[in-house]
Amino acid sequence: MRSRLLRALVALVVLAGLHLLVAPTASAHPYCGITWGSAPKAAGSLSAGRLVDVRAGRHDCYDRLVLDVGGAVLTGWSVRYVDQVRQDGSGHVVPVAGGARLQVVAGVPATPTDAWFVAPNRLVDTTGYRTFRDVVWAGSFEGMTTVGLGVRARLPFRAFVLPGPGAGSRLVVDVAHQWCATGHTC
């Protein structure tokens, strides 16, 4: 009887100890309410239209990359963390500064201008951004265009398409400044 009681007590202590070792999830104290995660995001495949511009902006809770598509609404795209960004067509590694790299692929060809087709080419000056470290042209091949996005660390991100301006659309990639609220452990 005594040994059963002792085993039950030990089991309860072990279970209580394991409960204390489990870290809280990021959603427990999200940074700016952000609960995006860092898993790959994608939709469709090839689209009509052409990539006409790449630009970025700074916000209170995240940095934003925008790929402007002219001529049609973008339906095919993917964004994911990769160890190395690879150049379209050749597969050569494209150097991208930062602690982590996002490969941003739009299912449209690029507008053929000299400045865009000199790879690798820095597309955005990221000086002063909290999260972005580099935005690099990685090429356009067979209707797919790739941009390398260097970020400070592997952080939560979201990706989505907005209509406009006009008949075009925009692939938007937001990368959060941090995982969870200051002073909390995620």
CATH code of the domain covering residue 155? 2.60.40.3500
Which is more confident, 124 or 118? 124
Q: For the chain, how many structural domains are there in total?
A: 1
Judged against a pLDDT cut of 50, whether residue 119 lies above it is answered with yes
Question: pLDDT per residue over 127-141, tens digit each?
Answer: 999 999 999 999 888
**Element spanning 70, H or E:** strand 62-70
Does 181 map to a domain? no
Class of residue 125 by CB neighbours under 10 A (exposed 0-12, middle 13-18, buried 19+)? exposed
Cβ atoms 110, 140 nearer than 8 A: yes
Comparing 17-21, 46-50, 101-105, 153-157, the range with the smallest average pLDDT is 17-21
Does 136 map to a domain? yes
Does 10 map to a domain? no
Does 155 map to a domain? yes
Which is more confident, 121 or 176? 176
Does 182 map to a domain? no
DSSP-based three-state secondary structure for 114: coil
Give, in degrees to the nearest 5, the angle at Cα 98 between 139 and 68: 40
Domain range for residue 94? 28-176
Give, in degrees to the nearest 5, the angle at Cα 42 between 100 and 164: 105
Global pTM reads: 0.80
Does 159 map to a domain? yes
Judged against a pLDDT cut of 50, whether residue 66 lies above it is answered with yes
pLDDT band at 18 (very low <50, low <70, confident <90, very high): very low
Does 184 map to a domain? no
Does 11 map to a domain? no
